Chains A and B, each alone.
Chain A
Amino acid sequence: MKPTLQPTAAETAARTLVRPADASTGFVSTPICRLPRNATGLIDLDGLEAGDRRIATAIGLVSHAPARLARAGRNCIVEVHNTRIAVTRALAERLCLRLANAN
């Protein structure tokens, strides 16, 4: 049985980052640390600070670029345009993927 973990303060904060579906586009932004493996969506850097956003963009995590979550968890691996980028917990809680809203 999978152990139940109490959410950390950072994770609780990360959950608040989940933004409701955009009425016009039908997309919802979710932190990558909460997504399952192989989830696909568009990169959303809005939750990052300016400095982190610039580094993320330079390394290849460009806003609106299509991405796949190659490894899920607190430390994630995001695949963008054939490039794999490891994202540690602190950033994975703020870096989002825009997913098509199932509802």
Chain B
Amino acid sequence: MTVSSEAAEARQPASVQEPIRRFALLGNPNTGKTTLFNRLCGLRAKTANYPGVTADARVGRLELGGVGVIELTDLPGLYSLDLELPEAEFCRDAIAGRVSRCGEPHALLAIADASNLRRNLALVLEVIALGKPTVIALNMIDEAERRALRIDVTDLERRLGCPVVAINARNGSGIGGLLSAVKTLATAPTLPSIQVPVSEDDRSELVEELVSAVTTRDESVRPKGRVTDWLDRVFVHPVLGMGVFAAVMSALFMVIFILAQHPMGWIESAFSWLGGAVSSVVSEGVGRDFLVDGVIGGVAGTVVFLPQICLLFFLLSILEDTGYLARAAFLADGVLRRFGLPGTAFVPLLSSHACALPGIMSARLIPDPRERLATILVAPFMSCSARIPVYVLLITLLFPGGGWRAGLAFVGCYVLGAVVALLTAILVRRTVLTGGSKALLIELPSYKLPSLRNALLTTWDKGTLFLRNAGTVILTICIVLWALSAFPRSDAPPEVATLREASAVAASEGRDQVSAELSVAAGRLENRAALRYSIAGRIGVAAEPVFAPLGYDWQVSIAVLTSFAAREVFVSTMLVMLGLEEDGDVENPGLVRRVRDAERDDGSPVFAPATTGSLLVFYVLAMQCLPTLAVTRRAAGGWKWALIQLFYMTAVAYVAAWVTFLIASQFI
């Protein structure tokens, strides 16, 4: 049964008695729906998190004098309510009140693009057929005029039998009239008087009739379109377009990669300062460790991702607004389709080079659920910025002199990640996520100047959504992992007391530098003993046989396990295990030499070349990032796919590292 026929059966009387407090906003994509929603609700909106669905809906509040607060739900853009697509299904459920925590809307606000009235009216008629009080916002009326189209809004309103208001959501013109119409409908609700035919053919005829009646073309005005034609000749050209695409995406990647480093550094410094401040106030013990390492460390581990996420969504919003993003997806489709992924997957995959979190979050741009899931599953294979400290340490150990071989190894890490991601995409699309790829049919919106206001509001929304959803999970996991690394507590080894006594003696003799060095050495020894005695340490020791085929001893095994939450932790844990500076610079030659000289219990080197190569491959391919797991859970709608992703990536990394160790052991 179609939506229209369902609604026709449920048609209500022409007046509705209940006061209207909840509106749903619907419209085709690229009609300025989000711009209108942002103009009406601004910061009083948040993206709703509906369990079990991947479509997002934003809920905002609108204060109307004399009426009170109106709740406005911005539903996903869609072309028809009758299609079997996720966004259409979600809209049908939301309008019928079948989405949990999303109340049934009392009335509908449909937005239509005046410059493309024919297609937009088709959806408007479907909306009217739902049998709810409806207001139509006719947006982009200026764009229609530029295309030499004149629309008789009064006549359209008369024919549809419901309020129609011409607006320009970008500059706010007509918004007052729209609010008045919403207010009138909220106080005296009425249903549209037009009878919408049930048959699709009859409805198409009605659309044609309406367009012919209310639209006139001004023949004296030459419609524009040549600029779009010219730009499209460049932007979607098989060769030129790929060049522009590569340049735009590289710029996007570089901006996220480079620009985010500064605020990330500030955030780390701020939390480091806060940790220090708390340490100086709270007395030593479990409580202080919990606050500093567990809570503050956990919050820092969450908030530090914010700059990359905000930058990505800000830039994506700008690109989407200009109309370029749709062209880029079209262009990338030709390449990615060979691997079972759609063109729209290029944004998540590229963004994942900066950080998998925003990459996975942006996978919502992909309409097909199987293609979206496949993209989410492979995105963390892309080498993110958190892998860099590990790459730097291990590559410096492998190629101490640096040079072209080190550079090649560095590039090789990125290539290996991307190749395995694409091969995995083929594998999952041919096994667990089978089904023909959806042919890409994508509307290319006209080129426009981007809206800064929209971009900022989107950034705010995505940032807060990340903190609310992923942040809470990440914080919890960080605290649990801290507890595993901190308990049970152990007494310091006798050598620590000896070193501290020697430090005190040196201090009393005025040899401050010696005293400080002895004190630091005591601290390192104590940390190393505490970590080995902790649950995580014991697991690491117990897991040594598991990692032995890869060439890792118990110290490396502990570092691999503790970096399960965040791969960059590998470096600091390794330095603690080797009794070196915990926050050491991995590019410092002296430090690198000491790491390379570190010995196992039997006197053999901890970082033999084969072990180092194996570790490098392991860190290229292993997930080793709990925040990614949390975000996958949210994006994939549950833990099932998140756990599959974790186990698959770990297994691939393990096997690849094992093979690397075997081969390297033969030749090095």
* Contacting residues of chain B (85-123) with chain A, CB-CB under 8 angstroms: 85, 115-116, 118-119, 122-123
Query: B221-256: contact bitstring with A at CB < 8 Å (1 yes, 0 no)?
Result: 001010011001100101000000000000000000
**CB neighbours of B236 from chain A (8 A):** 71, 75, 77, 86
Stretch with Cβ within 8 A of A (4 or more), from B329-337, B390-398, B563-571: B329-337
Tell me if A70 and B443 are in contact (CB < 8 A): no
| A91 CB within 8 Å of chain B | yes
Query: A55-73: contact bitstring with B at CB < 8 Å (1 yes, 0 no)?
Result: 1101111100000001101
Task: Check A51/B119 contact, CB under 8 A, given A86-B330, A86-B441.
Answer: no
Closest chain-A Cβ to B377's Cβ sits at a distance in Å of 23
Tell me if A82 and B147 are in contact (CB < 8 A): yes
Tell me if B443 and A55 are in contact (CB < 8 A): no
**CB neighbours of A54 from chain B (8 A):** 80, 82-83
Closest chain-A Cβ to B648's Cβ sits at a distance in Å of 29
Q: Which of B118, B123, B229, B437 contacts A90 (CB 8 A)?
A: B437
| B43 CB within 8 Å of chain A | no
* Contacting residues of chain B (322-373) with chain A, CB-CB under 8 angstroms: 326-327, 330, 333-334, 337, 343
| A15 CB within 8 Å of chain B | no
* Contacting residues of chain B (141-157) with chain A, CB-CB under 8 angstroms: 147
* A91 and B440 alpha carbons, distance in the complex (Å): 8
Q: Which of B122, B327, B439, B443 contacts A91 (CB 8 A)?
A: B439
Tell me if A58 and B229 are in contact (CB < 8 A): no
Tell me if B84 and A84 are in contact (CB < 8 A): no
Tell me if B333 and A88 are in contact (CB < 8 A): yes
| A52 CB within 8 Å of chain B | yes
**CB neighbours of B441 from chain A (8 A):** 52, 55-56, 59, 61, 85-88, 91
Of chain A, the residue at the smallest CB distance from B30 is: A83
| A81 CB within 8 Å of chain B | yes
Identify the interface centre among B84, B119, B232, B437: most chain A CB within 10 Å of its CB: B119
* Contacting residues of chain B (119-134) with chain A, CB-CB under 8 angstroms: 119, 122-123
Q: Which of A74, A75, A84 contacts B443 (CB 8 A)?
A: A84
| B480 CB within 8 Å of chain A | no
Tell me if B333 and A75 are in contact (CB < 8 A): yes
| B79 CB within 8 Å of chain A | yes
Interface size bracket, B side: 35 or more
How many residues of chain A have a CB within 8 Å of chain B? 27
Closest chain-A Cβ to B636's Cβ sits at a distance in Å of 24
Q: Which of B115, B225, B228, B443 contacts A85 (CB 8 A)?
A: B443
Closest chain-B Cβ to A53's Cβ sits at a distance in Å of 11
Tell me if B330 and A83 are in contact (CB < 8 A): no
| B204 CB within 8 Å of chain A | yes
- Name the prevailing secondary structure of the A interface residues: mixed
Task: Check A59/B439 contact, CB under 8 A, given A75-B330, A83-B119.
Answer: no
Tell me if B444 and A85 are in contact (CB < 8 A): yes
**CB neighbours of B223 from chain A (8 A):** 82
**CB neighbours of A62 from chain B (8 A):** 204
* A88 and B233 alpha carbons, distance in the complex (Å): 16
Task: Check A84/B147 contact, CB under 8 A, given A59-B119, A62-B204, A75-B330.
Answer: no
Closest chain-B Cβ to A96's Cβ sits at a distance in Å of 15
* A71 and B238 alpha carbons, distance in the complex (Å): 11
Task: Check A82/B225 contact, CB under 8 A, given A55-B441, A59-B443.
Answer: yes
Tell me if A59 and B79 are in contact (CB < 8 A): yes
Closest chain-A Cβ to B92's Cβ sits at a distance in Å of 14
**CB neighbours of A56 from chain B (8 A):** 441
| B442 CB within 8 Å of chain A | yes
**CB neighbours of B238 from chain A (8 A):** 73
* A70 and B229 alpha carbons, distance in the complex (Å): 7
Of chain A, the residue at the smallest CB distance from B323 is: A84
Q: Which of A58, A60, A71, A91 contacts B83 (CB 8 A)?
A: A58
Of chain A, the residue at the smallest CB distance from B200 is: A57
* A62 and B343 alpha carbons, distance in the complex (Å): 24
* A87 and B330 alpha carbons, distance in the complex (Å): 8
**CB neighbours of A77 from chain B (8 A):** 232, 236, 444
Closest chain-A Cβ to B212's Cβ sits at a distance in Å of 13
Q: Residues on B close to A: CB < 8 A?
A: 79-80, 82-85, 115-116, 118-119, 122-123, 147, 204, 223, 225, 228-229, 232-233, 236, 238, 326-327, 330, 333-334, 337, 343, 437, 439-444, 446
Q: Apart from A56-B441, A88-B334, what are 11 other A-B pairs with CB-CB below 8 Å?
A: A52-B439, A54-B83, A58-B79, A70-B229, A75-B333, A82-B115, A85-B442, A86-B440, A87-B441, A90-B439, A91-B441
Query: Could you list 17 examples of A-B contacts with CB < 8 Å?
Result: A52-B441, A54-B82, A59-B441, A62-B204, A70-B232, A75-B334, A77-B236, A82-B116, A82-B147, A83-B116, A83-B119, A84-B443, A86-B440, A86-B444, A88-B333, A89-B439, A91-B440
Q: Across the A-B interface, give the 3 residue pairs with the lowest CB-CB distance, nearest first.
A: A58-B79, A58-B80, A91-B439
